[in-house]
Chains A and B, each alone.
Chain A
Amino acid sequence: MRRVPLWLTFVFLYVPIVVVVVMSFNAGDSPFNWSGFSLKWYGELAADEQIRTGLGNTLIVAAGSTALSTVLGTLLAVGLARHTRSKLLDAIATLPVILPDIVLAIGLLAFYALVQLTLGLYSVLLAHAVFGTAAVAAVVRTRLATTDPSLEEASRDLGANGFTTFWRITLPSLAPGVVAGALLAFTLSIDEFVIAFFTAGPQSPTLPIVIYSMVRFGVTPEINALATVLLAVTFTAILAVQRLTRLAGTR
């Protein structure tokens, strides 16, 4: 009996998600009324040109911004660990992850207008790389805190120059943190709506924007199916992040 509040909390958290997942297998047209099991909405989803474009755009943005964020974020974390003891700089570097999306979105839009950058897919990619970099830096930073600083000295002592040491010793020992950071940046980018909505060109909507425009004309089970797919992808990525950061911690 004492566990009832716990279960109720879980129900509160996951009922909406369970409803979406269950209804994505609905045979009927209604997103609410169950009328039998079917995978037909997944078929519709695969055939939907609009969604395919959106998904393609989203994957390009996510992959591109993740690649950019991973490189910049890792270098930022290593630089912060190596060359400063300022807690303020540390905080500023990782701030964009928790900054309200709308603030970042307006700021980026104003900035793009200022430098007269025409909005397109690359503007979303760059925008996502902003918070992605911060996210990677934050994850790699915690990993760096647990590595033995004498490893790099040992490498130099054994005859490796700065670059070789970074490539052969620093990076491999940070690898779990770097991968976890990259997965986090990827997940954050895939379902990011507000910033994409502000910075995407009209010809290049990402998947969340496509879904938003579809929902305006009513929710169909197709959306449920799409949500379920997204859920599966995100959930897998988060599990991988957790596992990798735990690995990073136990070493």
Chain B
Amino acid sequence: MTLLSISDVRRRFGDVTALDGVSLDIREGEFFALLGPSGCGKTTLLRILAGFETLDEGAVTLAGDDLTRVPAHQRPINLMFQSYALFPHLTVAGNIAYGLQRERRPKTEIKQRVDEVLERVGLTHAAKRRPQQLSGGQRQRVALARAIVKRPRLLLLDEPLSALDRKVRAEMQLWLKQLQHEVGITFVVVTHDQEEAMSMADRIAVLNQGAVEQVADPVTLYGSPATHFVADFIGANNFFPGTAVAGGLASTEFGSLPARPGAAVPGYPAILAVRPEQVSLSGGPLAGRVLDVSFYGGLSRITVSLSPASSAVSPSSAVPPSPAAPPSLTAPLSSATPPSSTAPLSSATPPSSTAPPPSATPPSSTAPLSPATPPSSTAPLSSATPPSSTAPPSLAASSLLNDKSEMSLSPGGTITVHQHGAPRVAPGDAVELGWAAEDAVLVEP
């Protein structure tokens, strides 16, 4: 059941658009997270819900009632401030009782409810202390107790864990989730920390520049991001630009890459996103060289410099000492030879030659630099050939390895691979990599 309904909310501050038509439905009893980088509008939205900020357009209803007309102090909504905003001149118990006193509850009821909530947050012993005498984690629990003692319909939490150190934070994440389950209040937490949102929330709305990019549960958000922003903001990812085709992505440099279609429409530009842990180093359509290996205990992080899919480049990059510019000058010669002649990379080429369907060719012709093309003008790579005649060969050769921005959205034309346990490759190794189609997804650019 929808508790809070936000529809088409807009808010501008001078020239800055803080919220640009945000619509969200938050369900009763849900742990909901508003996630986004600073300046994405999440705090403005939170302040609108709390009643400290007005909206220019749109509607906000709580259980069907228009909320925008209700002043902050009359809303059945409480906010836990990022700074906690505990009253320094009141004791812990005084802070918690403050909201109940405003409701003019009988003294005995106030005392009983304060004691109850103090026990719930484990601070019964600190009731008589002042906020200044508490640790960060304790202050956070007082702030939370002060908010939940009012039994609000909705509890807003502004960056609840940002003021805590790392160890306490992990503890608090778990505790907050348990508490929410116990008290049954709908939580809306605002955070810029994707880990925090992922670990606690039932559903997450990712905000970017005042608009909602995607609303989904954590697993969907991670596994099936709808947009490039979401795929990039949540977790680590590798990206390949190209055109959506049936069964994957047609990339100008890497040929055909397998992926689920996701939200992409065949024939339109799309970005393929594949998580580092989904990439396998034991064979696949891509070839590369291991640049760097870092071991993090349970996990190894491997950075691989990619070679474009065409057979032309592969041999040159396979030359052990330096796969940089000089050897690549020899590449055009070998490029004329059919893919099958270059033994180690033969696995990479077949898909590229067969995959590109007619829909892939028009967009690829718009790519200014298709590094693979000059040598392959005679090669059987049909998808790449049309623009090849216009690309200057020397530029193309150097761009293979140096002009990263043209190759891939992944930093430096590299791909990050995560392996469980100790690394099974070393820097300098030539590797073939790939992934199953269901482990990669196409997202909107």
Once the chains bind, are A157 and B79 in contact (CB under 8 Å)?
Answer: yes
Q: Choose among B82, B83, B86, B88 the residue that contacts A251 (Cβ–Cβ < 8 A).
A: B88
Kindly state whether residue B167 has any CB partner on chain A within 8 Å.
no
For B82, list chain A residues within 8 Å (CB).
150
In A171-197, which residues have CB < 8 Å from any B CB?
Answer: 172-173, 175
Complex Cα–Cα for A159 and B79 (A): 11
A→B interface (CB under 8 Å): 148, 150-151, 153-161, 164, 168-169, 172-173, 175, 251
Contacts of A172 in B (CB 8 A): 87, 89
Q: How far is the CB of B67 from chain A (nearest CB, A)?
A: 14
Q: Which residues of B contact A153 (CB under 8 A)?
A: 50, 52, 72, 79, 81, 85
Contacts of A158 in B (CB 8 A): 73, 78, 98-99, 102, 146, 150
Number of A-B contacts (CB under 8 A): 60
**CA–CA, A175 to B89, complex, Å?**
10
Distance, CA A156 to CA B78, complexed state (A): 10
List A contacts of B98 (CB < 8 A): 155, 158, 160, 168
B85 near A148 with CB under 8 A, answer yes
For the complex, is B103 an interface residue (Cβ under 8 Å from A)?
yes
Q: A153-B52, A175-B89 are in contact. Are A159 and B83 (CB under 8 A)?
A: no
The reply to whether B72 and A150 contact each other, CB–CB distance below 8 Å, is no
> A168 CA to B89 CA in the complex, in Å?
10
Query: CB-CB < 8 A to A164: which residues of B?
Result: 102
Asked, given contacts A150-B81, A153-B81, A154-B81, whether A159 binds B89 with beta carbons under 8 Å apart, the answer is no
List the B residue with the shortest CB-CB distance to A154. B85
Known: A153-B52, A164-B102. A159 touches B85 (CB 8 A): no
B73 touches A156 (CB 8 A): yes
A110 to B98, CA, bound (A): 51
B291 CB → nearest A CB, Å: 47
* Chain A residues closer than 8 Å to B81, beta-carbon distance: 150, 153-154
Contact A173 B78 (CB under 8 A): no
Establish whether residues B72 and A151, one from each chain, have CB atoms under 8 Å apart when the complex forms. no
Q: A157-B50, A158-B99, A164-B102 are in contact. Are A151 and B73 (CB under 8 A)?
A: no
Q: What 0/1 readout, one digit per residue, does chain B (73-113) give for beta carbons within 8 Å of chain A?
A: 11001110111011111000000001100110000000000
* Docked pose: A168 CA to B97 CA in angstroms: 13
> Taking each of A151, A164, A173, which has the highest tally of chain B beta carbons within 10 Å of its own beta carbon?
A151
Residue pair A156, B72 in contact (C-beta under 8 Å) = yes
Q: 9 smallest A-B Cβ distances: which pairs? A: A158-B99, A159-B102, A154-B85, A150-B85, A172-B89, A156-B73, A156-B72, A150-B81, A157-B79
How far is A194 from B390 in the complex, measured between Cα atoms in Å? 92
Are B72 and A157 interface neighbours, CB within 8 A? Answer: yes
Q: Which parts of B100-159 form the interface with A (CB within 8 Å)? A: 102-103, 132, 146, 150
19 A-B pairs within 8 Å (CB atoms) are namely: A148-B83, A150-B85, A153-B52, A153-B81, A154-B85, A157-B50, A157-B51, A157-B72, A157-B73, A157-B77, A158-B98, A158-B102, A159-B99, A159-B103, A159-B150, A169-B87, A173-B88, A173-B89, A175-B89
Looking across the interface, which residue of chain A has its beta carbon closest to that of B81? A150
How long is the Cα–Cα vector from A139 to B98 in the complex, in angstroms?
28
Q: How far is the CB of B95 from chain A (nearest CB, A)?
A: 9
Q: Which residues of B contact A155 (CB under 8 A)?
A: 87, 98
Residues of A within 8 A of B85 (CB): 148, 150-151, 153-154
Q: Complex: how many Å from CA A20 to CA B83?
A: 53
**Centre residue among A151, A154, A156, A160 by max chain B CB count within 10 A:** A154
With A157-B50, A160-B102: A150-B83 Cβ-Cβ less than 8 Å: yes
Residues of B close to A168: CB separation below 8 A: 98
